[in-house]
Amino acid sequence: MSIKVYVPRDSSALSLGAHDVAAAISAEAQARQQDIQLIRNGSRGMFWLEPMVEVETAQGRVAYGPVTPDDVASLFEADFLHGGKHPLSLGLTAEIAWLKKQERLTFARVGITDPVSLDDYIAHDGYRGLHNALKLSAAEIVKQVTDSGLRGRGGAAFPTGIKWNTVLNAPAEQKYIVCNADEGDSGTYSDRMIMEGDPYVLIEGMTIAGLAVGATQGYIYLRSEYPDALHILNEAIDHAYHAGYLGENILGSGHRFDLEVRRAAGAYVCGEETSLLESLEGKRGLVRFKPPLPAIEGLFGKPTVVNNVISLATVPIILDKGGEFYRDFGMGRSRGTLPIQLAGNLKQCGLVEKAFGITLRELLEDFGGGSASGKPIRAVQVGGPLGAYLPESQFDTPMDYEKFSEIWAVLGHGGVVAFDTSVDMAKMARYAFEFCAIESCGKCTPCRIGSTRGMEVMDKVMSGQNKDENIALVRDLSDTMLNGSLCALGGMTPFPVLSAINHFPEDFGLDKAQVAK
Amino acid sequence: MLDDQQVRIDGHINALRTLPGALLPILHAIQDDLGYVPESSYPTIAHALNLSIAEVHGVVTFYHHFRTQPVGKHILHICRAESCKAMGADALEAYAKKTLGIDYHQTTADGAITLEPIYCLGNCACSPSIAVDERVLGRVDEKRLNQIIAKAREAA
Ligand SMILES: Cc1cc2nc3c(=O)[nH]c(=O)nc-3n(C[C@H](O)[C@H](O)[C@H](O)COP(=O)(O)O)c2cc1C
Ligand code: SF4
């Protein structure tokens, strides 16, 4: 029997040369007349070890990494095909502490299976949720999701079950499920890892959502920066259609669900759900006034569920194991697990799925291993470009929606970006305004004009002109944006700006005492 | 040549016009094929979708991804977002501009490389990141950037 060798096709692994490693392994195996089966899996999410190669042995999967093409010959010499020892040996993958400490529910299969193999998906508990859902009424499916306590993972943390219930109870001939795969936040990549590493779990989640609310058409709105995800999703959707998991008669149940991927076009604001719907309709991505909610009047004016990739990809395990199983993880009103993405200046960046409640410090130190540069970590931005910067004194905050609100911060989509002591927080505050100016949809004045004005004023602050007056102006502007913006792009840009000023006044030429007031 | 371009544009429009919300799929198909969306295509698109030319123009210009002018053989995207900044993207960006002798949205004199900013490639565990055309590259330093630029020039 041929030996199974795994080399990830996740685009971050590819960005470090995984294709070349795969090619080198194939060539070397052929030269040595070794019978191997090369499987291109998703990533386990330990990116400092990518490209990470795994081999299936009698004891389980054994890992090696980070592997370069130059290491391949020596891996064969060391008989890695039978788990032989090598300087790059990491031992049994399942025993790697970094993975073992996690609670992988949504990410249960990522890195383990062949992402496009439907058989592999099913062999690893895939489609059990759908089978259960097909035995339930729509309202019963919604109840499971409500009971699970799942809140939207796209940023706003709105209870998914309540959203679904609204759509279920909105009478209409046509309803839609829209998956928000615009993942624009810097420091986030969990949506991408799911789509590249376990696309069927998203397809299954959307299908269940369709059954739950009576929608027969789904769209995945995928950012254009993710071409690999596009190909993998399309291939998986094709297989799902052929096997009867999508289409006019899902598994002979008489229920219909069609699914299509649509490419976005590089506008951050199109991650905002109403802007996204405009874009799907073929228009400029101008944010809509709410109400009406998309759940009542969404895509093409019809009731629409808009959910993030992770929210939807978490539905199958809820329907498989029950809402209560999922709800038992977490703390307070943050139930279940959060796929946290460690990014920026950390030694060990990667995907950590943990129950809510783990502290930022545990993430940065135990998982992240401290900064990559070796300098102290000075600031951490959680929740993307609209998230606050946290100083060291706040690192003991647990990952929990409410605990973060209390310190005027957000969890957002779970991105954690670490900066070492070389960071200039005034520059980061200016950048927050700049990003808002570049990405503003232009519909409201506080955001459209305020962001550009903010940038100009920050330039003055940074060149030392009338510092106190100009900082007061930044605060004023931030106030206007906070209170007068239609959506969170303008409305939350003050989070990074003001948190930078308040926690790191010295970078703005202010002293702490002055700011404390 | 221009006629051939129009034939291809018409082909994309005809293949996709009946999709709900067909405009973005059509624009993507045209740009994937031609490398940009020529303004000369607006009237045909507008007519097929029952839009005004101004509406088509408005949509094309709203999205950062769409271009209305041809670009260099390769597009070098430098990520400017926070995670990459935390790992030295500002310096990398300055180095790329200096080495290529161009600013963002410009093309080198030999037509090989167009430089564009990008805001997150989803490769934040391997910052700083860049992309050459569609291929993302992680943990890029100056030395690696030089190799990448040289390779892009070779393949130009
Ligand atoms: C400027 C802006 C950008 C956003 N970008 C995203 C995004 O990329 N992905 C996402 O899922 N939600 C994003 N959101 C949140 C969505 O508006 C919406 O809350 C979410 O898609 C709902 O899904 P959920 O309930 O499953 O989180 C963004 C919001 C704003 C204001
Ligand atoms: S806050 Fe900015 S992005 Fe949001 S609607 Fe207003 S102008 Fe558009």
Per-residue model confidence as pLDDT tens digits over A18-46: 999 999 999 999 999 999 999 999 999 99
Q: Is the ipTM of this complex over 0.90?
A: yes
Please say if the pLDDT value at position A516 is more than 60.
no
Q: Which residues of B touch A341 (CB under 8 A)?
A: 124-125
Query: CATH number of the domain at A425-516, out of 3.30.43.10, 3.30.9.10, 1.20.1440.230, 3.40.190.10?
Result: 1.20.1440.230
Question: How many whole angstroms separate alpha carbon B6 and alpha carbon B14?
Answer: 12
Q: Which residues of B touch A258 (CB under 8 A)?
A: none
Q: Which residues pair with A262 in a beta bridge?
A: A221
The pLDDT tens digits of the residues spanning B42-66 come to 999 999 999 999 999 999 999 999 9
User: What confidence score (pLDDT) does residue A1 get?
Assistant: 76
For the beta carbon of residue A404, count every other beta carbon within 10 angstroms: 24
DSSP designation for A359: B
User: What confidence score (pLDDT) does residue A515 get?
Assistant: 67
Q: List the domain boundaries for chain A.
A: 3-100, 118-327, 330-420, 425-516
> Which residues does ligand 2 sit against, CB inside 6 Å?
A 269, 287, 440-444, 447-448, 485-487, 489-491
DSSP designation for A299: G
- Give the mean pLDDT of A218-231: 98
User: What confidence score (pLDDT) does residue A517 get?
Assistant: 44
Are the beta carbons of B65 and A265 separated by less than 8 Å? yes
Residues of B at the A interface (Cβ-Cβ below 8 Å)?
20-25, 27-28, 49, 58-59, 62-66, 81-87, 90, 118-127, 129, 131, 134-139
The distance of Cα A63 from the centroid of its chain, to the nearest Å, equals 25
- Whole-Å CA distances, B135 to A65, A244, A261, A407: 22, 33, 20, 39
Question: How many whole angstroms separate alpha carbon A183 and alpha carbon A63?
Answer: 30
Look at the alpha carbons of B77, B78, B81, B82 in this order and tell me if their dihedral is positive or negative: positive
Are the beta carbons of A12 and B127 separated by less than 8 Å? no
- Nearest chain B residue to A432 by CA: give it: B82
Banded model confidence at residue B156, pLDDT cuts 50, 70, 90: low
The pLDDT tens digits of the residues spanning A436-466 come to 999 999 999 999 999 999 999 999 999 999 9
Q: Helical H runs in A59-186?
A: 72-77, 97-100, 118-123, 128-134, 138-148, 160-168
The distance of Cα A93 from the centroid of its chain, to the nearest Å, equals 23
- For residue A157, how far is its CA from the centre of ligand 1 (angstroms)? 9
The distance of Cα A35 from the centroid of its chain, to the nearest Å, equals 37
CATH H-level, domain A118-327: superfamily: NADH-ubiquinone oxidoreductase 51kDa subunit (3.40.50.11540)
Share of chain B above pLDDT 70, in %: 98
- CATH class label, B74-154: alpha beta
A347 and A370 Cβ atoms separated by less than 8 Å: yes
- Scored b (16 or more CB within 10 A) or e, A262-275 reads bbbbbbbbbbbbbb
User: What confidence score (pLDDT) does residue A513 get?
Assistant: 67
Q: What topology does CATH give the domain A3-100?
A: Glutaredoxin (3.40.30)
- Ligand 2 pocket, mutate which of A279, A284, A433, A489 (most atoms under 8 A from CB): A489
- Whole-Å CA distances, A335 to A101, A152, A158, A353, A417: 18, 11, 12, 13, 23
For the beta carbon of residue B31, count every other beta carbon within 10 angstroms: 20
The pLDDT tens digits of the residues spanning A353-407 come to 999 999 999 999 999 999 999 999 999 999 999 999 999 999 999 999 999 999 9
Chain length of chain A = 517
Q: List the domain boundaries for chain B.
A: 3-62, 74-154
CATH architecture group of domain A330-420: Roll (3.10)
User: What confidence score (pLDDT) does residue B1 get?
Assistant: 56
- For residue B131, how far is its CA from the centre of ligand 1 (angstroms)? 25
Are the beta carbons of A189 and B136 separated by less than 8 Å? no
Host H or E run for residue A43: none
